[in-house]
Chain A
Amino acid sequence: KAGVTQTPRYLIKTRGQQVTLSCSPISGHRSVSWYQQTPGQGLQFLFEYFSETQRNKGNFPGRFSGRQFSNSRSEMNVSTLELGDSALYLCASSSQREGSEQFFGPGTRLTVL
């Protein structure tokens, strides 16, 4: 069974630009969550999608948004990039069973200059 895939793996942008990251979950998984990981803050929850609907949202500004498609693939978008947005962005998928474990992709390393 193929794991969670994320593209691109690395990205360099400048302040003020916008970026779109993509995630393909494990086949059959309909829940996709996004996290931001930085050395000082650890993994911070961004949002979770299930069947194309956002079910949960973390405490991030509106510059961070996402969506999910009918095939469960998900994208997240960050507009008006700031230096502090430099981080590893991780996508995780899980089955629809409540409390089930999440499986993570390799992440996208975003650097904002």
Chain B
Amino acid sequence: EDQVTQSPEALRLQEGESSSLNCSYTVSGLRGLFWYRQDPGKGPEFLFTLYSAGEEKEKERLKATLTKKESFLHITAPKPEDSATYLCAVNSGGYQKVTFGIGTKLQVIP
């Protein structure tokens, strides 16, 4: 059974203080690893897809990286508007059977 573990569960940062969120996964065959951002009471917003170890993608202050066992979401010089829950998910085949982690709740303080 696929498993996704995210750490830490919650993270509090000062504005401008860079950090990383971790996503460890166990799958039978990775077809894609996804990062989403979710604001309270809203649906998850797609950020990145990574398909193979060594792949990296960037968007504004966010950078996602992938190894064979984990993925990191690096946040550089975060701003208060980056506060949200960040979700990691994996697709291991079987069409769109996707497993999500519990998420990391990020709070950026001005």
Residues of A contacting B: mostly: strand
- Is the C-beta of A75 less than 8 angstroms from some C-beta in chain B? no
Count residues on chain A whose CB falls below 8 Å from chain B CBs.
26
> Among residues 23 to 43 in chain B, which have CB atoms less than 8 Å away from a CB atom of chain A?
31-32, 34, 36, 41-43
Contact status B43-A33, CB under 8 Å: no
Residues of A within 8 A of B51 (CB): 99
Given contacts A43-B87, A100-B32, A102-B46, contact A55 B102 (CB under 8 A): no
Contact status A45-B46, CB under 8 Å: no
- Is the C-beta of A66 less than 8 angstroms from some C-beta in chain B? no
- Number of A-B pairs whose CB atoms are under 8 Å? 68
Count residues on chain B whose CB falls below 8 Å from chain A CBs.
26
Chain B: residues with CB nearer than 8 A to chain A?
A: 31-32, 34, 36, 41-46, 49, 51, 87, 89, 91, 93-103
Residues of A within 8 A of B102 (CB): 42
Q: Give A35 to B97 CA distance when docked, in angstroms.
A: 11
Residues of B within 8 A of A102 (CB): 34, 46, 96, 98
> Among residues 88 to 113 in chain A, which have CB atoms less than 8 Å away from a CB atom of chain B?
88, 90, 92, 94, 98-107, 109
Given contacts A42-B100, A101-B32, A101-B49, contact A90 B44 (CB under 8 A): yes
